[in-house]
Amino acid sequence: MNDINFGGKVIWFTGLSGAGKTTLANEFQLFLKSKGLNTRILDGDDLRKGLNQGLGFSDNDRSENIRRAAEVAKLFLDSNFIVLCSFITPKNEMRNMAKSIIGEGNYIEVFVDCSIEECERRDVKGLYKKVREEKISDFTGISSDFDIPHNPDLILNTESNNLITCLEQLKILIGVN
Ligand code: ADP
């Protein structure tokens, strides 16, 4: 793994809604800040309220959502930030686009793996309930595809590992303790 002291990195969390992307990014940011590192979180839900307002959940809109997020991540990367990106990023081609915008050497892909059944059981934002009531369409994992990532740098299974264990693996991944 590259030494992060040589510059920033983008950690790209991909996974189903409710898998744990936001929780991991927030907790890991606290740890990185405690080490005096500059960090920035980019979260799909937040960006859709501003920069990405008006984009929906068609494949085209999802791609545009990721393209803009990756471009913003690159800006922070260029200022040597560790950027923690939480986006479902359902398709391999979208992940590849993010990687090519950010640059292969600075893009670290983390697959936040959790079964759809467990995500639905958690239903952190009440979205799965709405999907079952047919109030939401094109929902990843149910009515829209999620490709299993081809070659992530790390797989964190949040069903079989608790938060502390996942955070330990992230620390090892980027070489900060
Ligand atoms: P996402 O950002 O992927 O939509 P969230 O982070 O909003 O998901 O929600 C994930 C939920 O799963 C939270 O309620 C969190 O407390 C819970 N959870 C259980 N185990 C873990 C774990 N190992 N890592 C992260 N989250 C976990």
| Residue-level pLDDT at 2 | 40
Cα of 29 vs centre of ligand 1, distance in Å, is 15
Distance CA 157, CA 53 (A): 31
- The CATH number corresponding to 7-114+146-174 among 1.10.10.10, 3.40.50.300, 3.90.1150.10, 3.90.110.10 equals 3.40.50.300
Distance CA 8, CA 150 (A): 24
Cα of 135 vs centre of ligand 1, distance in Å, is 23
Cα of 139 vs centre of ligand 1, distance in Å, is 18
Q: Is any ligand 1 atom within 6 A of the Cβ of residue 119?
A: no
Domain extent listing, the chain: 7-114+146-174
Q: How confident is the model at residue 7 (pLDDT cuts 50, 70, 90)?
A: confident
Q: Are 10 and 77 in contact (CB under 8 A)?
A: yes
Express each pLDDT in 45-76 by its tens digit: 999 999 999 999 999 999 999 999 999 999 99
| Residue-level pLDDT at 98 | 98
Q: Is any ligand 1 atom within 6 A of the Cβ of residue 161?
A: yes
Length of the chain: 177
Closest atom of ligand 1 to 15 CA is 3
Q: Are 175 and 37 in contact (CB under 8 A)?
A: no
